[in-house]
Structure 1
Amino acid sequence: MRRERLCLFDGMRFRHKLFVSYLTVIIIPILVLGLYAYHQSKQMLEYQALQGIEKNAGTITESIEKSLERYNHTIQSIIYNTTFEKIVTNDYIDLVNLSRDLNGYLMPYFNMMKNMDQNIEQITFYTQSSVPEYGDALLSASRVSEERWYHDALLAAPNRNQWFFDDGLIVTAQFPSFYTKGNTNLVYMRINSKDLFNLSNTLQENAIFIADENQRLIYANPNAKQRQYLLSGDLSNEDGSLIRDGQTSFFLVKKEIQQTNWTFYCFVPTKKLTEGAGSIIRVTLGLILICIAALLVIIYIFSRTMIRRIYALNSMMKRVEMGDLSLRVASTSRDEIGEMTNRFGRMLIRLNELIDESYRSKIVQKEAELRALQWQINPHFLYNTLSFINWQAIKSDSYEISHVVTSLSKFYRTALNRGNNITSVRDELENMKSYVEIIQIMRDYSFDVEYEIEEAVYVCYTIHLILQPLVENAILHGIDQKEAGRGLLKVRARLCDNAIVFDVEDNGPGMPPDTAERILTVYSTGYGLKNVNDRIQLLYGPEYGISVSSQLGRGTIMTITVPQYHQNTMDG
């Protein structure tokens, strides 16, 4: 994909490249500034919206605080009323006085409080004393002994109001212990929370919860009832923290209600805070488009002016390409285009001079070809001489001399290869085998040779003279250096994927790893391994060449890897 984009850019006219470059350099800063302005404006909108929501939340919590404070004062006025204390402790000599206090004081007082505050639904005394029950106003504590709120109220500190939400809003308080004679008596007040949690319309669109210190739900508006799971998360963050719910995110506004240790939570969708960002985007895009339109005109004028001289230079180059070498090119401009024009003019002058010199070089080339023909005579003379020696050896029954001469003739015939750099694998193997036969005869067959050649490699072609140097190196530095036992040379050739792999292995003393790495990077005397490796990589690429694997005391394996070529491929 990246190469396709580069090819597309390379195929464009220079005028278009210049236009695109200018446009890119200009558009990027404009887009960055536009995006920055939009981001800042969006943040400002979020901040202002959160400030408004926090202000409304503060107003609501203050209203709830005042209402709760009123109820706290009401219930405190009850527990410190001496008549009520007397009733719950059953501090009466006869039932006549109890009945008088219940009918003449308790019930009128409760009715007065309910009439003054319509949200008070029930006021009840729960007592552990033996006082008789009286309607809903005075009941035995055994009736609610299994209720959760009752146990929590008993564990609360004396004189401290406790708030609960149990199918309605409940507030309880204990009568002072010094009046109860060992019993715990409670006052219980149920309040209609509808008016207490009457939230403003601006916040009703959000998810609002009120929870106690144990994260138990006290109140949830309609938008929050489907998202009660939000309370189960970590809500210890400060106001304005970002809460994520799957693909939806919320800003959290949190307020403490001191009277009851409740917490007011308002989850505001982030999309709602940025509803006004659309107009900012439209204005920003409009300004960007206006700026780009104006800049396009300026870019067109500048690029047309600058490219005109390049077109003129290109026109002169076309005339030279068509053969008009008498053209004289020069420019008085001192910019890069002027320098390029003057250099082209000097290059044209130099080109005419080189054309004149080429005629003389052709004469020198013909003389070199003549000398090359003379050198070609030498190999034929060598072959004829070796053939004569071979015939004389056979005639004298010197068959070993005949075998050496024949091998030497075959070696030089394949080594010279008529001056070609490419040869068949068959001839390359024959050249190597001829060399090995000559060395074995010269050394009285002091080492053994094994060949493992796949038949399929014979029809392939490779670089000329790459196996013999490896075999020579294996004999001189491997087998000849072996201190004990008989030397063994193994030569293998096989096809592997799309490559030909040659292995030359000896059972000599081996070499350390640093030496194995160095022999391919350092020139040696004669036709060394580095020369072979360089030739292979120069023709086929760095993925081919020689690799060396050696272990001290176990021998060395040199591997040549070349691509698999056939005659038709080499011709192409």
Structure 2
Amino acid sequence: MKRAAISLLNRMRFKQKLFISYLIVIIIPILVLGWYAYNQSKQMLNIQGIQGIEKNIDTISGSIDSSVERYNRAVQSIVFNKTFQKIVANDYSDLVNLSYDLKEYLSPYFNMMSVLDRDVEKITFYTQTYVPEYGDSVLSADRVKEEGWYKEAMKGSTGSQWFFQDGLIVVNKFPQFFTDKTVNIVYMKINGDSMFRNVAELAKDYSVVLTDGHGRVIYANQNKLYPHVGLNELQRLKEGAITFGGVDAFLVKKTVKQTNWTIYCIVPAAEMSRNAGSILDATLIIIGACMVIVLIVIWIFSRTMIRRVYSLNSLMKRVEIGDLSMKVSSESKDEIGELTNRFGSMLIRLNGLIDELFRNKIVQKEAEFKALQWQMNPHFLYNTLSFINWKALRSDAPDISKVVTTMSKFYRTGLNRGDSLIPIRDELEHVKLYIEIIQITKDHSFDVLYEIDEAVFDYATINFILQPLAENAIMHGINRKEDGGRGLLQVSAKLIQDKVAFTVTDNGPGMPPGIAETILESRSSGYGLKNVNERLLIKFGSEYSFGVRSILGEGTQMQIIIPRYIRP
């Protein structure tokens, strides 16, 4: 895909590229500004929507507070009524007076409250004393002692407590005096639908959930969002923008002052941005108008600029067909004028270089002739060594024949037909031939040990990197042994992870630490390994390493590590 796009771009005319580039540069800011304006407007709508929701929630909370306070006062007016306190405490000397208060005072009072507030469905005294039960108005506490609301009410304070169990109920304990060990309560059941009628009207377009202090749902309107949200999840959510069940929405929380109830209001984001469509339409119209104006301006500007490029292109075509005698110049000071003047300067230099080219051709031919002579010299060397070998065999001198044959192989592998890259097998063969020649000339005065991993034969290296190491080990190591022991030269080649490691070790006298540290930077004829280090650096860069370890009296080890390189 990327290659196809680049190919298409390369085939386009400069005028088209200029037009597209200007278009892109201008379109991006326009689109960004349009997107920013639309989002800011949408955000303002959301803010206004949230403020409206918060206002409705405040109204809902106030309505609930008002209702709760009204019923709290109602139950408190009962528990602080002296006659009702006397009834639940059974503070009577005979049943006649108790019956009179029940019929003439309690029943009319309860009937009056039911008439004045039709949302009150039931009022009952639950007493722990031995007062006789009286209809549904006075009952024994044993009837409800296993109910959850009763257990919580007995643990709670003396103020009003609200519960939701088979409806909405408010409970308040009667005052206890020092001699009174019994607990008596008034129980009032309220129609929840009537109490929350205002909530349903104010929150018809979104979800409202009302929970008590224990996280139990007291009221939830029949909106489509709430069933998709678990209560635990709802309580964990923070106010503001939320996402659940793949639906974007806004959450507003409010605490009812008179109770520890919490109101959760969930509004779909789609409801908040219902009017954003008109803003989007207006934004698109403005962007479209700007685009039309921009296209006209870009077309005029690009056409004016490209005309001078076409003129310069025409001059270049004349040069292409061989007209090198014309003079090209421009008085303009912009980039196209500079390009025209430089093209004219190039024509002048081109005419001069054409004359110079003929002279350079002659020099090149002479260099090629000398290179041919250099290529012929190895053939002359091989022929001469072959003649010496033939003479040695005719003269019955096998040692001379072996030396000559080994030297011929040595130069053949070393020169490698003029190629600097060589298979590792040939490089190892080259150093073996060198060591063999030295052993013959030294009358085999030292031993050689080879440790070669044949797996390294699959790779290549640059030539002449092992022979200098072997030469250094023999000349400055084995030849300078002073302990009288027999010299030992060890040559190894093996794979280490993704590297090839060459190691040359001798048991000579070793080198002082100062020399061992600078041997790779020194051009001394005694330790000339700098050339090898520089050639490895040029070929492999930081992927190679060349280390020298030497201990006085024990010997020296030189190691070259190169990457696995396969010759192309």
Aligned position for 1:313: 312
Distance 1:190 1:504, change over 3 A: same
Aligned position for 2:275: 276
Deviation per CA, 1:127-164, whole angstroms, max 9, x where unpaired?
A: 12221111001111111112222222223333x11111
Aligned position for 2:557: 555
Could you tell me whether the CA contact under 8 Å between 1:124 and 1:139 is conserved in 2? Answer: yes
2: CA distance between counterparts of 1:365 and 1:235?
Answer: 86
1: CA distance between counterparts of 2:321 and 2:306?
Answer: 23
Aligned position for 2:40: 40
Could you tell me whether the CA contact under 8 Å between 1:89 and 1:180 is conserved in 2? Answer: no
Could you tell me whether the CA contact under 8 Å between 2:447 and 2:488 is conserved in 1? Answer: yes
2: CA distance between counterparts of 1:39 and 1:348?
Answer: 58
Aligned position for 1:143: 143
| 2:230 aligned with 1:229 | yes
1: CA distance between counterparts of 2:46 and 2:162?
Answer: 35
1: CA distance between counterparts of 2:211 and 2:425?
Answer: 92
SS in structure 2 of the partner of residue 208 of structure 1: strand
* Pairwise CA distance, 1:302: 1.3
1: CA distance between counterparts of 2:226 and 2:434?
Answer: 95
2: CA distance between counterparts of 1:213 and 1:455?
Answer: 78
Output the amino acid matched with 1:362: K
- Aligned pairs for 1:44-123 (under 5 A) are 44-123=44-123
Distance 1:477 1:112, change over 3 A: farther
Deviation per CA, 1:437-487, whole angstroms, max 9, x where unpaired?
A: 2222233322315375859969x9976655544544555567667886642
Output the amino acid matched with 1:555: Q
* Pairwise CA distance, 1:94: 2.0
Output the amino acid matched with 2:330: S
Could you tell me whether the CA contact under 8 Å between 1:170 and 1:191 is conserved in 2? Answer: yes
* Pairwise CA distance, 1:556: 3.8
Could you tell me whether the CA contact under 8 Å between 2:160 and 2:171 is conserved in 1? Answer: yes
Aligned position for 1:349: 348
TM-score, structure 1 normalization: 0.83
Find the partner of 1:533 among 530, 533, 536: 536
2: CA distance between counterparts of 1:10 and 1:153?
Answer: 85
Aligned position for 1:257: 256
**41-50 vs 420-429, which deviates more?**
420-429
Distance 1:478 1:132, change over 3 A: farther
2: CA distance between counterparts of 1:110 and 1:512?
Answer: 116
| 2:262 aligned with 1:296 | no
* Pairwise CA distance, 1:168: 0.7
2: CA distance between counterparts of 1:365 and 1:405?
Answer: 37
SS in structure 2 of the partner of residue 354 of structure 1: helix
Aligned position for 2:128: 128
Distance 1:429 1:28, change over 3 A: same
* Pairwise CA distance, 1:117: 0.9
Could you tell me whether the CA contact under 8 Å between 1:428 and 1:465 is conserved in 2? Answer: yes
Distance 1:65 1:377, change over 3 A: closer
Could you tell me whether the CA contact under 8 Å between 1:474 and 1:504 is conserved in 2? Answer: no
Q: Which runs of 5+ in 2 are unaligned?
A: none
Distance 1:308 1:138, change over 3 A: same
Could you tell me whether the CA contact under 8 Å between 2:422 and 2:463 is conserved in 1? Answer: yes
1: CA distance between counterparts of 2:256 and 2:375?
Answer: 111
Could you tell me whether the CA contact under 8 Å between 1:513 and 1:550 is conserved in 2? Answer: no
1: CA distance between counterparts of 2:207 and 2:514?
Answer: 74
2: CA distance between counterparts of 1:79 and 1:422?
Answer: 109
Deviation per CA, 1:383-439, whole angstroms, max 9, x where unpaired?
A: 565455545544554432333233334434554556565778776666444323222
Distance 1:124 1:386, change over 3 A: closer
Q: Which runs of 5+ in 1 are unaligned?
A: none
1: CA distance between counterparts of 2:448 and 2:235?
Answer: 82
2: CA distance between counterparts of 1:511 and 1:50?
Answer: 85
SS in structure 2 of the partner of residue 51 of structure 1: helix
Could you tell me whether the CA contact under 8 Å between 1:325 and 1:352 is conserved in 2? Answer: yes
Output the amino acid matched with 2:109: Y
Percentage of matched positions with identical amino acids: 52
Could you tell me whether the CA contact under 8 Å between 2:469 and 2:504 is conserved in 1? Answer: no
Distance 1:177 1:405, change over 3 A: same
* Pairwise CA distance, 1:29: 1.5
Could you tell me whether the CA contact under 8 Å between 1:243 and 1:250 is conserved in 2? Answer: yes
2: CA distance between counterparts of 1:144 and 1:63?
Answer: 31
* Pairwise CA distance, 1:123: 0.7
Aligned position for 2:337: 338
CA RMSD of aligned residues (A): 3.9
- Aligned pairs for 1:129-208 (under 5 A) are 129-158=129-158, 160-178=159-177, 181-198=180-197, 199-208=199-208
SS in structure 1 of the partner of residue 323 of structure 2: coil
Aligned position for 1:23: 23
* Pairwise CA distance, 1:356: 0.9
Could you tell me whether the CA contact under 8 Å between 1:125 and 1:186 is conserved in 2? Answer: yes
1: CA distance between counterparts of 2:164 and 2:420?
Answer: 99
1: CA distance between counterparts of 2:217 and 2:456?
Answer: 85
Could you tell me whether the CA contact under 8 Å between 1:329 and 1:344 is conserved in 2? Answer: yes
Could you tell me whether the CA contact under 8 Å between 1:478 and 1:506 is conserved in 2? Answer: no
2: CA distance between counterparts of 1:550 and 1:234?
Answer: 72
Could you tell me whether the CA contact under 8 Å between 1:519 and 1:530 is conserved in 2? Answer: no
* Pairwise CA distance, 1:124: 0.8
Distance 1:118 1:72, change over 3 A: same
1: CA distance between counterparts of 2:161 and 2:276?
Answer: 46
1: CA distance between counterparts of 2:452 and 2:520?
Answer: 25
* Pairwise CA distance, 1:338: 1.0
* Pairwise CA distance, 1:340: 1.1
Output the amino acid matched with 1:79: V
Output the amino acid matched with 2:274: E
* Pairwise CA distance, 1:7: 5.6
**356-365 vs 395-404, which deviates more?**
395-404
* Pairwise CA distance, 1:295: 0.9
Aligned position for 2:491: 490
Output the amino acid matched with 2:169: I
Deviation per CA, 1:104-130, whole angstroms, max 9, x where unpaired?
A: 221111111111111111111111222
Distance 1:215 1:426, change over 3 A: closer
The aligned length equals 555
SS in structure 2 of the partner of residue 215 of structure 1: coil
Deviation per CA, 1:351-382, whole angstroms, max 9, x where unpaired?
A: 11111112222333344455556666755665
1: CA distance between counterparts of 2:252 and 2:507?
Answer: 84
1: CA distance between counterparts of 2:426 and 2:513?
Answer: 33
Could you tell me whether the CA contact under 8 Å between 2:424 and 2:456 is conserved in 1? Answer: no
2: CA distance between counterparts of 1:126 and 1:233?
Answer: 36
Aligned position for 1:506: 505
2: CA distance between counterparts of 1:180 and 1:485?
Answer: 119
Distance 1:435 1:180, change over 3 A: same
Could you tell me whether the CA contact under 8 Å between 2:210 and 2:262 is conserved in 1? Answer: yes
Distance 1:507 1:289, change over 3 A: farther
* Pairwise CA distance, 1:261: 2.4
1: CA distance between counterparts of 2:11 and 2:287?
Answer: 30
* Pairwise CA distance, 1:171: 0.9
- Aligned pairs for 1:364-403 (under 5 A) are 364-371=363-370, 382-383=381-382, 386-387=385-386, 389-403=388-402
TM-score, structure 2 normalization: 0.84
Distance 1:145 1:225, change over 3 A: farther
Distance 1:226 1:485, change over 3 A: farther
